């Protein structure tokens, strides 16, 4: 039943909606029953660093990454400027925790354009457009960074559902190592595994994602949170969205469990 519901959820795309409304979507796993949905969860936006989740699956499946701590690569200017946060050796766990762009680009370069597109198509990820910035042919290094690739909150949740259900046609090692490498947080008594994503829209607004899944006892959920923090917010948009979600989750789930 959950697969049929998920198919129905995805069949509603594409949508016409207000682009900057933000979204909060929580659904049960494996049933895929929507427990909470508010805001605009149907307009596609760049995935930013939430794309590191599917990219981790690609890297482990292709054998570029071996486990959560192997390989461990030094920083390099080959893939563009390096922020202070990125000036460190990194493995898969550090890469996901600190959102290291040069590490992502090293994976995609090793995949190559054809294999990269093949994975995107196989995963049915968002609009599946990895051409990159128009007229530059930079998709292999930049497609997910506010250029061509976009995805909506419902599609993000659908992708996580397929990851947890192992329906993406990658190796068991790829599933196991991606999950083992994911950043972990606590929200009350919920253990949360999720990835942030930050960036600036063409209109100059800050955009933040937090995408993943959470578990408390035998109860498991999938979540997507998309926010456009107000101007002047000191924290980066992705961590701001993550911290907002972690504060909201316990009360939201308490209300959901109390519902008739």
Q: Beta-carbon neighbour count of residue 44 at 10 Å?
A: 20
Question: Per the residue annotation, which of 11, 38, 49, 165 is the catalytic one?
Answer: 49
Does 49 qualify as catalytic in the annotation?
yes
CA distance 62 to 186: 31
d(CA 182, CA 192): 10
Residue tagged 């997507």 (tokens): 224
State how far Cα 36 lies from the chain centre.
19
Q: What are the structure tokens assigned to 176, written together?
A: 């196991």
Residue 39 three-state SS? strand
Catalytic residues, by residue number, are 49
């Amino acid at each position: 039943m959950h697969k049929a519901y998920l198919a129905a959820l995805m069949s509603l795309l594409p949508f016409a909606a207000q682009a900057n409304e933000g979204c909060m979507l929580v659904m049960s796993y494996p049933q895929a029953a929507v427990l909470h949905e508010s805001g605009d969860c149907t307009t596609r936006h760049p995935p930013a660093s939430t794309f590191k989740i599917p990219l981790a699956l690609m890297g482990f499946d292709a054998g570029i990454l071996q486990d959560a701590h192997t390989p461990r690569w030094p920083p390099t200017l080959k893939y563009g400027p390096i922020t202070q946060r990125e000036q460190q050796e990194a493995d898969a766990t550090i890469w996901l925790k600190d959102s290291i762009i040069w590490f992502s680009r090293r994976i995609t370069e090793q995949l190559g354009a054809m294999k990269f597109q093949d994975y995107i198509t196989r995963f049915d990820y968002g609009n599946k457009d990895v051409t990159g910035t128009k007229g530059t042919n930079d998709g292999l290094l930049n497609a997910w960074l506010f250029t061509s690739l976009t995805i909506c909150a419902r599609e993000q949740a659908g992708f996580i559902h397929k990851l947890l259900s192992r329906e993406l046609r990658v190796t068991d090692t790829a599933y196991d190592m991606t999950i083992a490498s994911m950043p972990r947080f606590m929200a009350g008594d919920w253990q949360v595994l999720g990835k942030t994503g930050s960036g600036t829209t063409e209109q100059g607004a800050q955009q933040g994602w937090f995408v993943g899944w959470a578990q408390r006892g035998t109860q498991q959920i999938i979540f997507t949170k998309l926010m456009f923090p107000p101007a002047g917010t000191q924290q980066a948009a992705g961590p701001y969205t993550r911290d907002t979600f972690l504060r909201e989750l316990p009360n939201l789930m308490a209300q959901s469990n109390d519902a008739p």
